[in-house]
């Protein structure tokens, strides 16, 4: 697209964001805003679809929590058909990447969505949140710490090793890097629709991307690459090889929460809930006899390995699986690592480019010879 | 080690490898009987879950046999099988599991001798490697 001007809104980033979202609703650019909102009763934020201009005051756009991966929710809303009315959706990069994958998997529609993708400073584990509201000061403190890579407690492991903290797709990129989010907010149009929405909202003033932005992003990415490598090396020590893998999953109770929280695991009926896994009683006895004993519920490792096979080519390393595990199994040590390896053989990065075909939906005549047929 | 007989599970496409196995038999070729063949309609139908399940429940190795590129009865099932198996093997490698116990081979319906040769090769290879540690773990 042609170079559309960047909008700079002066003032606190959350306040500026709300001003922009309010303008979108007031000027009828969109009929609803999907964004994280403060709860009236309770702490933390939940996603909500806000249709009322007054309701925008509830939006807490940069709260450092991610209760669910929003792509799953957008999929629920748009699985049957595209939204009839224009909606603005505020997403983290891992959420918009998961949404792109879900669209490719025919589980969501992006038409009529104005995707506002925010630079991401990561999220805290829900369980680490104290019983106090996430007020402006605490969020500002988190943002400052996270930008300096100095969050000590509670940062989700998947966030600490994330290289995709700037959105790849969407209509508007909300810039936090390169500016002081306490004083300014960058709204960078990344599509024609985004530029049109910014013009229609009429907030802020035109400006330019500060040169410091690119440098900050590159430095951060380089540091994250190192962190990711180190984390994976540690993970390999902890869970590399069959015996260690068994140990790693020893606390698994087979609740399948990891699957339910995964934005990519969309199947209405999972293979593991299908009649294929209903067995006659004598089967269990046979298996126990063959191995001497049988862990029950069974198929712990089979479940995780199969889930990897089914979804890892689209895994966006959002860490929702790790967050969902009731026993704190650090799934970020498995899924992002395997996802990097698998996606690399197809030269694919999940959710990066909506035009790229899913690795399992296409093939080349000659490929993969060292791994495939030999 | 000498009395170790590898248990190998084979998923063979109905239109090629399964017929090649028949051909090897009817032409009286000699090959070790370690492969337990399972006939499937296409190598593309072999979900990795079946391969992993076999490996976790007693198989020392698994072979998937499909049609040569361009010869798939369903146009491109074998090409999809190749991607699936590449994903499976990459996952196993990442996690430090023995990915070299999963083989994918193209054996056309006319290739009885090739089937017998691969059966011999694979049996010997797995015999050398010894029993798979994944095969009998009750706590998996």
Residue B33 is assigned to a structural domain of this protein: yes
pLDDT of A153 reads 86
**A59 and A146 share one domain:** yes
What is the per-residue DSSP string for A12-58? -HHHHHHHHHHHHHHTTS-SEEEEEEE-SSSSSEEEEEE-SGGGGGG
Joined tokens for residue A194: 């985004």
pLDDT of A69 reads 97
User: What gap in Å lies between CA A207 and CA A187, rounded to an integer?
Assistant: 10
Inspect the interface and report whether the beta carbons of A242 and B96 lie closer than 8 Å.
Answer: yes
The answer to whether A216 and A166 have CB atoms below 8 angstroms apart is no
pLDDT of A40 reads 84
Best to test chain A binding among B78, B94, B138 (most A CBs inside 10 Å): B94
**A201 and A251 share one domain:** no
Tell me if chain A has a CB within 8 Å of the CB of B83.
yes
Nearest residue of B to residue A359, measured between CA atoms:
B83
Can you give the residue range of the structural domain that contains A214? 6-221
Q: How many domains would you assign to chain A?
A: 2
Inspect the interface and report whether the beta carbons of A363 and B48 lie closer than 8 Å.
Answer: no
- All residues of chain B having their beta carbon less than 8 Å from the beta carbon of residue A287 are 57
- pLDDT tens profile B84-117: 999 999 999 999 999 999 999 999 999 999 999 9
- pLDDT tens profile A164-204: 999 999 999 999 999 998 899 999 999 999 999 999 999 99
Can you give the residue range of the structural domain that contains B77? 8-129
**A143 and A200 share one domain:** yes
User: What gap in Å lies between CA A347 and CA A313, rounded to an integer?
Assistant: 11
Residue A236 is assigned to a structural domain of this protein: no
| Chain B 45-64, residues with CB within 8 Å of chain A CB atoms | 47-49, 52-53, 56-58
Inspect the interface and report whether the beta carbons of A359 and B83 lie closer than 8 Å.
Answer: yes
**A75 and A201 share one domain:** yes
Best to test chain A binding among B85, B114, B140 (most A CBs inside 10 Å): B140
Inspect the interface and report whether the beta carbons of B87 and A242 lie closer than 8 Å.
Answer: no
> Mean of the pLDDT values across residues A34-44?
88
Q: How many domains would you assign to chain B?
A: 1
Residue A227 is assigned to a structural domain of this protein: no
**A107 and A166 share one domain:** yes
Tell me if chain A has a CB within 8 Å of the CB of B37.
no
pLDDT of A43 reads 77
Task: Give percent of chain B with pLDDT exceeding 90.
Answer: 95
What is the per-residue burial (b if ≥16 Cβ within 10 Å, else e) of A51-88? eeeebbebbbbbbbbbbbbbbbbbbeebeeeebeebbb
User: What gap in Å lies between CA A138 and CA A145, rounded to an integer?
Assistant: 11
Residue A321 is assigned to a structural domain of this protein: yes
Neighbours of A97 (CB within 10 A): 28
**A171 and A295 share one domain:** no
Nearest to A301 among B58, B96, B140 (CB): B140
| Interface ipTM above 0.85 | yes
> Mean of the pLDDT values across residues A268-297?
93
Residue B92 is assigned to a structural domain of this protein: yes
Nearest to A372 among B49, B86, B91 (CB): B86
The alpha helices in A33-154, defined as continuous H runs, are 70-78, 93-104, 136-147
pLDDT of A372 reads 64
Nearest to A363 among B82, B88, B138 (CB): B82
What's the pLDDT band for A241 if we cut at 50, 70, 90? very high
Joined tokens for residue B126: 């797995």
Whole-number CA gyration radius for chain B: 15
Residue B140 is assigned to a structural domain of this protein: no
Residue B32 is assigned to a structural domain of this protein: yes
Task: Give percent of chain A with pLDDT exceeding 90.
Answer: 86
Residue B109 is assigned to a structural domain of this protein: yes
- pLDDT tens profile A56-99: 999 999 999 999 999 999 999 999 999 999 999 999 999 999 99
Where residue B112 sits, what CATH number does that domain have? 3.40.50
pLDDT of A349 reads 98
User: What gap in Å lies between CA A352 and CA A164, rounded to an integer?
Assistant: 9
**A251 and A200 share one domain:** no
Tell me if chain A has a CB within 8 Å of the CB of B105.
yes
User: What gap in Å lies between CA A75 and CA A98, rounded to an integer?
Assistant: 10
Tell me if chain A has a CB within 8 Å of the CB of B103.
yes
> Mean of the pLDDT values across residues A291-298?
92
pLDDT of A373 reads 65
What is the nearest CA distance from A254 to chain B, expressed in angstroms? Answer: 12
Residue B2 is assigned to a structural domain of this protein: no
Residue A172 is assigned to a structural domain of this protein: yes
Residue A80 is assigned to a structural domain of this protein: yes
CA distances for B26 relative to A63, B12, B19, B30, B41, angstroms:
70, 17, 10, 11, 21
- pLDDT tens profile A321-367: 999 999 999 999 999 999 999 999 999 999 999 999 999 999 998 89
Inspect the interface and report whether the beta carbons of B70 and A309 lie closer than 8 Å.
Answer: no
Position with higher pLDDT, A153 vs B33: B33
- pLDDT tens profile B39-48: 999 999 999 9
User: What gap in Å lies between CA B54 and CA B97, rounded to an integer?
Assistant: 14
Pick left, alpha or beta for residue B44 (phi over 0 → left; psi -120 to 50 → alpha; otherwise beta).
alpha
Inspect the interface and report whether the beta carbons of B83 and A368 lie closer than 8 Å.
Answer: yes
The per-residue pLDDT of chain A, averaged, comes to 94
**A17 and A165 share one domain:** yes
For the ranges A247-256, A268-277, B49-58, the lowest mean pLDDT is seen at: A268-277
The answer to whether A213 and A158 have CB atoms below 8 angstroms apart is no
Is residue A6 pLDDT above 80, yes or no?
Answer: yes
């Amino acid at each position: 697209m042609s170079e559309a001007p960047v909008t700079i809104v002066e003032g606190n980033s959350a306040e500026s964001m709300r001003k922009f979202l309010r303008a979108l609703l007031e000027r009828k650019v969109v009929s609803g805003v999907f964004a994280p909102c403060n709860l009236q009763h309770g702490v933390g934020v939940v996603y909500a679809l806000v249709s009322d201009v007054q309701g925008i005051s509830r939006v807490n756009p940069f709260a450092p929590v991610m209760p669910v991966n929003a792509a799953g929710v957008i999929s629920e809303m748009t699985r049957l058909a595209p939204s009839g009315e224009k909606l603005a959706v505020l997403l983290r990069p891992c959420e918009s990447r998961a949404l792109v994958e879900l669209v490719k998997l025919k589980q969501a529609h992006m038409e009529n969505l104005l995707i506002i993708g925010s630079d991401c400073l990561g999220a805290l584990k829900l369980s680490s949140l104290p019983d106090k509201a996430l007020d402006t000061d605490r969020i500002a403190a988190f943002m400052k710490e996270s930008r300096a890579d100095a969050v000590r407690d509670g940062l989700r492991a998947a966030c600490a090793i994330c290289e995709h903290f700037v959105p790849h797709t969407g209509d508007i990129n909300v810039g936090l890097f390169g500016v002081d989010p306490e004083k300014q907010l960058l709204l960078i149009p990344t599509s024609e629709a985004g530029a049109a929405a910014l013009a229609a909202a009429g907030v802020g003033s035109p400006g330019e991307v500060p040169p410091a932005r690119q440098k900050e992003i590159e430095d951060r990415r380089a540091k994250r690459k190192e962190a990711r490598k180190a984390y994976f090396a540690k993970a390999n020590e902890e869970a590399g090889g069959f015996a260690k893998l068994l140990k790693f999953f020893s606390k698994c109770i087979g609740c399948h929460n990891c699957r339910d929280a995964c934005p990519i695991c969309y199947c209405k009926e999972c293979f593991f809930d299908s009649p294929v896994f209903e067995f006659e009683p004598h089967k269990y006895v046979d298996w126990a006899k063959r191995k001497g004993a049988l862990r029950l519920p069974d198929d712990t490792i089979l479940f995780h390995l199969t889930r990897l096979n089914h979804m890892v080519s689209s895994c966006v390393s959002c860490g929702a699986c790790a967050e969902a595990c009731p026993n704190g199994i650090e799934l970020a040590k498995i899924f992002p690592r395997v996802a990097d390896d698998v996606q690399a053989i197809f030269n694919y990065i999940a959710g990066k480019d909506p035009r790229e075909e899913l690795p399992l939906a296409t093939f080349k005549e000659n490929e993969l010879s060292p791994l495939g047929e030999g | 080690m000498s009395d170790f007989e590898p248990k190998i599970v084979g998923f063979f496409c109905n239109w090629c490898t399964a017929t090649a196995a028949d051909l090897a038999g009817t032409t009286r070729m000699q090959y070790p009987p370690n492969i337990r063949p399972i006939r499937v309609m296409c190598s593309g139908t072999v979900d990795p879950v079946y391969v992993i399940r076999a490996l976790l429940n007693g198989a020392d190795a698994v072979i998937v046999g499909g049609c040569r590129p361009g010869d798939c009865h369903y146009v491109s099932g074998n090409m999809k099988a190749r991607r699936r198996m590449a994903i499976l093997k990459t996952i196993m490698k990442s996690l430090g599991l023995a990915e070299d116990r999963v083989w994918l081979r193209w054996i056309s319906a006319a290739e009885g001798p090739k089937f017998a040769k691969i059966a011999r090769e694979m049996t010997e290879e797995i015999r050398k490697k010894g029993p798979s540690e994944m095969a009998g773990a009750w706590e998996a």
